[in-house]
Structure 1
Amino acid sequence: MSAATAPEATRAATPRAARRGPARTTRVLPTAVLLLGALYCLVPVAWVLVASTKSRGELFSTFTFAPGTGLLENLSDLFAYGDGQFLTWCANSLLYAGAGAVLSTLVSTMSGYALAKFRFPGRDAIFYAVLGGVLLPGITLAIPQYLIMSELGLVGSHWSVLLPSIISPFGIYLSRVYAAAAVPEEVVEAARIDGAGEWRTFTSVAVPMLVPGMVTVFMLQFVGIWNNFLLPFIMLSDERRYPLTVGLYSLLSKGSGEPALYSLAIVGAAVSIVPLIALVLFLQRFWRLDLISGGLKG
């Protein structure tokens, strides 16, 4: 009995804090790494927001995170530049990102649902091709896309930026994975037995279950198209069709001969973040509703 109880006595004598030490360390280290990563990502954004409030003299004379006094003047100069050219760039970005994200979400959802719920020859080959597209960097497709649009006579138009944004390999892959998990085979078969066609089964049965996945695809595509620079930079030559990314780059290019444009570019970059923040705040309720519905079902 004494030999059997000796380890228990030793464990009881060991301070509880000493036993918790390694566990605490394993929790603190990942948290510290995540905090450092968050700082690395957020510090440039914070600097842009602070720099947008500085007047030209404050911007070029000091480098601090203290807010400046020129925010209203900077905004006025930005929206007055080129007779409202910045607003035109904003409208173009909303067109490219909004229409492109909506169309891409529809195509990705239908493609992912078909790959998940239908059996047809070549399905696996198509899925592996989609995976290959996910692994392929988008920058490598810019020149082939330019050549295709040139053959179609669309270079320089809104379509040259919009059409390549509709097909998203990652969106199709994500929709396929989500459809396989969120839409039970039994529900689809029950709809077919009740006489519903494939289109009605998809629109009336599957789509309500796929809404959270569709919202995710929409948000990823919107942010990706909104921040896209290379494709519109290659496709467009008319400043009236520039999105914000290319428009702000043109301001920076002209700023080498006119330093005042640096302030406009910084303020424009800060303003361009606002729609993305608003989008995330608006769409997060769909994820929250999905979590609540899942909890009620449980």
Structure 2
Amino acid sequence: MTPAASTAETAAAKAHEADVGPPPQGARAEQARGTVVPGGRARAARTIIVTGVLTIVALYFLVPVYWVIVAASKTTDDLFGTHGFLFAENIALLSNLSQVLSYDGGVFLRWLGNSLLYAGVGSLIATYLAAAAGYALSKYMFRGRNLIFGLVLGGVLVPGTATALPLFLLFSQLGMVNTYWSVLIPSLVSPFGLFLCRIYADATVDTSLIEAARLDGVGEIRIFHVLGLRIMTPALVTVFLFQLVGIWNNYFLPLVMLTDERLFPITLGLNHWRSQTDRLPEFYELTTGGVLLSIIPLALAMIVLQRFWRGGLTEGAVK
């Protein structure tokens, strides 16, 4: 079709519209829907798929928690004689929790205190050390800086189970096996925390701000504590949370290092109770009730620190 013919057809269409009038509102809406609906359907389909995937992931994490709550509310007979995901007729949650807290002179409370000591103190010190090292690697230029950072990243790839035996031999020579230090000292190092703190310091701590503080006569230690730590707070909370969860759930290192029941963390203590269920079935009630109590501190920490956790991951990962 020639350009002249196309121009003529366009002029004829405009003349016909002038004689007949514009199409009715419903027709124009139908035309608009005809052009918009395909894209809208694609977006709706993507929304449904994403929502479905997130629902499956949420169920994957929430169903075990629900089962623990149901199991902790049953007696040993109901635990094996009723449906696993349904509550029994007689709810024994309070009595089970009371037994957990009072059994053997309240040994569970001692395990809880040990876990709070290992996880709380270890996480605080590990977070501070990671922040100091990450800040130094980010803001100080010295020879071998990248080599040190590469070695630290290599430490992330080494599983904790691979270092448990060498640590046991080392602490045996130092006479520190079966003490609080044998579990606490290895928890003070966080290679992932150092990596995150350096990336976050590169992205958020402005070098010109540090130079301005130096011109005002502020020392390097004070600059780090007053400026660096405050700016890096979201990353520090993220490191603290990861380290807290890791130490709280740590099982293999205390298993290797500790033999005294009074020094056990919750993970090792609950496994000690579970190992006695074959000869004493009532330990099922103690174990399920103890598991329920053991997840409460982590749940509270996640609820309180989740906004800092999200901010630390997103802001620290983008430069």
| TM-score, normalised via structure 2 length | 0.84
Question: Do the aligned partners of 2:235 and 2:309 also contact (CA within 8 Å) in 1?
Answer: no
Q: CA separation in 1, counterparts of 2:133 and 2:48?
A: 42
2:211 to 189, 214, 223: 189
How many residues are treated as equivalent by the alignment?
287
Q: CA separation in 1, counterparts of 2:134 and 2:270?
A: 36
Map residues 128-147 of structure 1 onto 2, 5 A cutoff.
128-147=150-169
Corresponding position of 2:45? 25
Would you identify which runs of 4 or more consecutive aligned residues in structure 1 move more than 6 Å?
none
Q: CA separation in 1, counterparts of 2:60 and 2:304?
A: 26
Question: Do the aligned partners of 2:241 and 2:309 also contact (CA within 8 Å) in 1?
Answer: no
Q: Following TM superposition, by how much is the alpha carbon of 1:28 offset from its aligned partner in structure 2, in angstroms? A: 2.4
Corresponding position of 1:58? 78
Residue segments in structure 1 that go unaligned for 5+ positions in a row: none
Q: Which amino acid aligns with 2:57?
A: G
Q: Following TM superposition, by how much is the alpha carbon of 1:237 offset from its aligned partner in structure 2, in angstroms? A: 0.5
Q: CA separation in 1, counterparts of 2:36 and 2:75?
A: 57
Corresponding position of 2:231? 209
| TM-score, normalised via structure 1 length | 0.90
Moved more, 77-86 or 89-98: 77-86
Alpha-carbon RMSD across the aligned residues, in angstroms, is 2.3
1:100 to 122, 129, 135: 122
Q: Which amino acid aligns with 2:212?
A: A
Q: Which amino acid aligns with 1:249?
A: N
Corresponding position of 2:24? none
Q: Deviations over 1:41-76 (max 9, x none)?
A: 211111001111112221121124333410111011
Q: Following TM superposition, by how much is the alpha carbon of 1:280 offset from its aligned partner in structure 2, in angstroms? A: 2.2
Q: Whose radius of gyration is greater, 1 or 2?
A: 2
Q: Following TM superposition, by how much is the alpha carbon of 1:27 offset from its aligned partner in structure 2, in angstroms? A: 2.9
Describe the shift of the 1:206–1:200 C-alpha distance in structure 2 as closer, same or farther (beyond 3 A). Answer: same
Q: Which amino acid aligns with 1:34?
A: L
Corresponding position of 2:60? 40
Q: Deviations over 1:148-189 (max 9, x none)?
A: 211211111010000000001001111111111121111111
Describe the shift of the 1:57–1:232 C-alpha distance in structure 2 as closer, same or farther (beyond 3 A). Answer: same
Q: Following TM superposition, by how much is the alpha carbon of 1:18 offset from its aligned partner in structure 2, in angstroms? A: 3.0
Residue segments in structure 2 that go unaligned for 5+ positions in a row: 1-6, 14-27
Query: Percent identity over the alignment?
Result: 45
1:257 to 253, 259, 279: 279
Q: CA separation in 1, counterparts of 2:266 and 2:73?
A: 20
Q: CA separation in 2, counterparts of 1:42 and 1:259?
A: 27
Q: CA separation in 2, counterparts of 1:211 and 1:192?
A: 22
Describe the shift of the 1:114–1:14 C-alpha distance in structure 2 as closer, same or farther (beyond 3 A). Answer: same
Describe the shift of the 1:285–1:36 C-alpha distance in structure 2 as closer, same or farther (beyond 3 A). Answer: closer
Describe the shift of the 1:20–1:13 C-alpha distance in structure 2 as closer, same or farther (beyond 3 A). Answer: closer
